[in-house]
Amino acid sequence: MGDLVQVETEEKEQKHSVLQGKYELGRVLGQGTFARVYHARNLQTGESVAMKVIPKEKLFKAGRSMVDQIKREISVMKSVKHPNIVELYEVMATKSKIYLAMELVRGGELFAKVKKGGRLDEDLARFYFSHLISAVDFCHSRGVYHRDLKLENLLLDDQGHLRITDFGLSTFLAERQDEEQMLHTSCGTPHYVAPEVVSRKAQGYQGSKADIWSCGVILFVLLAGYLPFHDDNLIRMYRKIYKGDFNCPPWFSSEASNLVTRMLDPNPCTRISIPQIKESAWYNINITSTAADPKPFPKLSHPDDEDEDDDEGKENGESSDKPFSVSKDKEEAAGKTLNAFHIISMSQGLDLSPLFDDKSREERQDMKFATAKPTSTVISRLKQVAAGKLKVLVKNKAKDGELLVKLRGQEDGRKGRLGIAARIYSVSPALQVVELNKDNGDTLEYNKFCDNYLRPALRDIVWTS
């Protein structure tokens, strides 16, 4: 690793240790297979950074390919400086570890926002998408192809602007040629990978075309709230990808459907290019933001941000347990009535959230049902369960027509006090939709409480056809 700055002394393995007399390491932000990311502070400037720590022993045990991957990631991140790409500040090394000091992005993953809040309205999706295309276009102009573009690798800064991260699977063709070089390494995430990468044809594939396909999948998810290609059987899913077998939902505008269809063209030769994307009708609808001059971003907020006992926001992709209000659909759902699409999206039988979630049904942290009983009956039943079992506090809050009931434990559990949020939406005087989520505390304790108390207590008021 000749391009790494060698640190003369090993840092102490303890919280708040000081690295090279320059960075004070703090709490852990996240952990992967080979690396751990810490919150760190530059003692000279006072600036907060994300410090990625990679043990050399794990790296070398993984083989030469993983060492080359880290080298490539460092080389790529040094070469791409763009407002919508997470910046690499500095690279250091000790005898046992490699340290990457990177820009600290505080807004979390775009994946978490969509997963919690559902599909986005087209204006907000266009805002994110324009940032994505701007950054990808810049990378391609420098001979860099990401090859693993997905929602989990798109972060949001504290102003809500998009940042691309994780260039571990990228490739860097330093010497640009008139005709783009063909790539042969099959890599990426199954749901987002292009058909020509899956097919592994001898002639290879173009990195730019593969990235555009992944951007098309991302745009589809932002607008639809679910993945365009999904199947429990991986082979069947790859067949769908290879054939471009998907359908745009009816709420897509004609311009959006046209753009997504051209991006998810299984033939890379006829697939739309980035210059054509920028000229498309949908991309240019009232678009006033650029990476250099972004328009104001609508705040992503939790309904109870004013509560003193709410958790702090998560940084550099660390997800939160709290649901965020992302889309207009969710904001409208907080009104006095819901339309058919809202009811469908909240229906247990048509819930599309498992497509984003590797967890089993028992591990998921939400419960939705419809009831013909009045709101007062639902609240009364919740109070009875709370008072009889957990001795929790019940707080009623009305916000934008949505009725929120909060059940909060008085005693600490494994991860603080158990909190449950119940949101009640009025479809009509004779039909209410209730959505319950874990608001705080341990997931196992929440699931146990739901199975033993909540579900039995609410069973007789749940509406069934």
Quick: pLDDT tens for 236-268: 888 899 889 999 999 999 999 999 999 999 999
CB 54 within 8 Å of CB 97:
yes
The model's pLDDT over 108-144, given as tens digits with 9 standing for 90+, comes to: 888 888 888 788 999 999 999 999 999 999 999 988 9
Catalytic residues: 148
- Residue of higher predicted confidence among 382 and 394: 382
Q: Is the pLDDT of residue 313 over 90?
A: no
Alpha carbon distance 150, 165 (integer Å): 10
DSSP state of 297: P
pTM value > 0.85? no
Alpha carbon distance 194, 269 (integer Å): 13
Q: Is the pLDDT of residue 290 over 60?
A: no
User: According to the model, what pLDDT value does residue 430 have?
Assistant: 66
Q: pLDDT band for position 220 (50/70/90)?
A: very high
Q: Domain 334-461 has what CATH class?
A: alpha beta
Residue of 153, 169, 172 whose CA lies nearest to 78: 172
Neighbour count for residue 330 (Cβ, 10 Å)? 20
User: According to the model, what pLDDT value does residue 379 have?
Assistant: 84
- Residue of higher predicted confidence among 340 and 172: 172
Q: Is the pLDDT of residue 288 over 60?
A: no
User: According to the model, what pLDDT value does residue 389 have?
Assistant: 64
Q: State the Cα torsion 375-376-380-382 to the nearest 10°.
A: 20
CB 317 within 8 Å of CB 108:
yes
Instruction: State mean pLDDT over 62-72.
Output: 77
- Residue of higher predicted confidence among 276 and 343: 276
CB 419 within 8 Å of CB 407:
yes
Q: 45-54, 204-213, 289-298 — which is least confidently predicted?
A: 289-298
Query: What is the residue-averaged pLDDT of the chain?
Result: 75
User: According to the model, what pLDDT value does residue 398 have?
Assistant: 55
User: According to the model, what pLDDT value does residue 385 have?
Assistant: 80
Give residues with Cβ within 8 angstroms of 376, minimum separation 6. Answer: none
Specify the CATH number for 110-279; select among 1.10.1240.10, 1.10.510.10, 2.60.40.10, 1.20.1640.10.
1.10.510.10
Name the token pair of 49: 């950074």
- In the chain, how many H helices and how many E strands? 14, 18
Neighbour count for residue 263 (Cβ, 10 Å)? 22
Q: Is the pLDDT of residue 359 over 60?
A: no
Quick one: residue 67, left, alpha or beta (phi over 0 = left, psi -120 to 50 = alpha)?
alpha
Q: Is the pLDDT of residue 343 over 50?
A: no
Calculate what percentage of the chain has a pLDDT beyond 90.
25
CB 414 within 8 Å of CB 446:
no
Q: 142-146, 181-185, 281-285, 326-330 — which is least confidently predicted?
A: 326-330
DSSP state of 109: B
Give residues with Cβ within 8 angstroms of 281, minimum separation 6. Answer: 255, 258, 259
Helix (H) or strand (E) holding 23: strand 23-31
Q: Is the pLDDT of residue 400 over 80?
A: no
Neighbour count for residue 464 (Cβ, 10 Å)? 6
Q: 53-67, 153-167, 395-409 — which is least confidently predicted?
A: 395-409
- Residue of higher predicted confidence among 451 and 306: 451
Domain ranges of the chain: 5-103, 110-279, 334-461
User: According to the model, what pLDDT value does residue 415 have?
Assistant: 77
For domain 5-103, give the CATH number: 3.30.200.20
Instruction: State mean pLDDT over 205-222.
Output: 93
Alpha carbon distance 285, 273 (integer Å): 18
Name the token pair of 396: 């009623």
The model's pLDDT over 150-208, given as tens digits with 9 standing for 90+, comes to: 998 999 988 889 999 888 788 777 544 445 666 766 666 888 999 888 776 657 888 89
User: According to the model, what pLDDT value does residue 154 have?
Assistant: 93
